[in-house]
Amino acid sequence: MSKITDEQALSYHVGGKIAINVKTPCETADDLSLAYTPGVAIPCKAIEADNELAYKYTNKANLVAVITDGTAVLGLGDIGAVAGKPVMEGKSVLFKKFADIDAFDIELDEHDPDKIVEICKALAPTFGGINLEDIRAPKCFEIERKLQAAVDIPVMHDDQHGTAMITSAGMINAMEISGKDISKIKIVVSGAGAAGIACAKMYQALGAKHIIMIDSKGVIHSERTDLTPEKREFALKTNDRTLADAMRGADMFLGLSKPGVVTREMVKTMNAEPIIFALANPTPEIYPEEVAEARNDAMMGTGRSDYPNQVNNVLGFPFIFRGALDVRAKKITENMKMAAAKALAALAKEPVPAEVCKAFGVEKLEFGKDYIIPKPFDKRVLTAVAPAVAQAAVDDGVARVKNFDKEAYIKELLKSQK
């Protein structure tokens, strides 16, 4: 992958990255009468009588709002709503490219959680789903929770749950390769923000019992009095106070913190066949080369595309919303998230098509330490994850579509890729 210059980056974004295309004909007077007045009154009356018909007669069924207040933009921090717009447009590009979902970016010049919920609730009739993005913790937890309770469409804060699902998929496969029992391993999470807490909760759902979480002040332990309610859930009775303390005897390290905080010496103190997900971007907590210098039995992942096992949220959010939208889900449940993680884990065990290998400049990819997570641009992710999510929505009773045929749905998705 070539190095991108500032000039290239600015040139790429001139005029923005998304636009609106018209799907229906609008070339004649009759077309105009159908698109607008008087013909448009007919679907309006139908929807007035039955609001569910908005899914049939408007773009609601395939439209997601990407909403931010610009307080936690990846790698940039609190840069404000308008400065975060290029990132939100980029998210909309990924929705369209990977799952053919239309997405509008909405940047809010508002920081009060209750007001953000109120605004999003007022906007909800327009959309089939809401993707919250780059909102600072801990208010992101409150906003997601209150908003989902207030609307009847799926709401997901991707910074939390996308990372949790992808790393959980990797963990499932790492457990199988190493032969370890997730209930007996020691997990260290460096970074107690939105993603770190969501990951820890999902690991618990998978059976993890021993998680040590670390924030900017050190280990989150039971004697601390400065913890938010979300962090307090992970406070342990322990004498560990530093990252180095916590890493001793650890089986897994998840980094969602700062570049270079993990040393070779720390890696050496971990248990056999450790899992190391160093996800600070673009510079990880420790580089794979440094881990390899310390030991040769680690399974390593980063947020970068130029190393094996990239943890990339694009493997999650487009397909989760695709499945949720297609069964007209009212919310995204924990089972839907877990279904996505398990579908990704299972896909990594399947033979990898040659075109996927070619896209990443390798001759072969096969299940093992250097391939525990599927690659972006693998078209099979759509037909693996979306149906699993849709089925979980039906099973959980949150889908408006009742007569769901998973096999028929997979065939429809395959047709859409041609």
Active site residues: 36, 91
Two tokens, residue 275: 């899992």
Cβ–Cβ < 8 Å for 243, 266: yes
Instruction: Read off the DSSP letter of residue 126.
Output: G
366, 352 Cβ separation under 8 angstroms: yes
Residues 144 and 131: their CA atoms lie apart, in Å, by 10
Between CA 371 and CA 356 the distance in angstroms is 13
| Separation in Å, CA 128 to CA 40, 289, 299 | 21, 44, 38
The order of strands in the sheet holding 102-107 is 102-107, 63-68, 129-132, 155-157
Distance of CA 306 to the CA centre of its chain: 20
Structure-block tokens of residue 177: 């390769």
CA 273, CA 270: separation in Å to the nearest integer?
Answer: 8
Q: Which two tokens stand for residue 66?
A: 């990407």
Q: Are 95 and 101 in contact (CB under 8 A)?
A: yes
Q: What is the residue-wise DSSP string for 310-322?
A: B--GGGTHHHHHH
d(CA 390, CA 319): 10
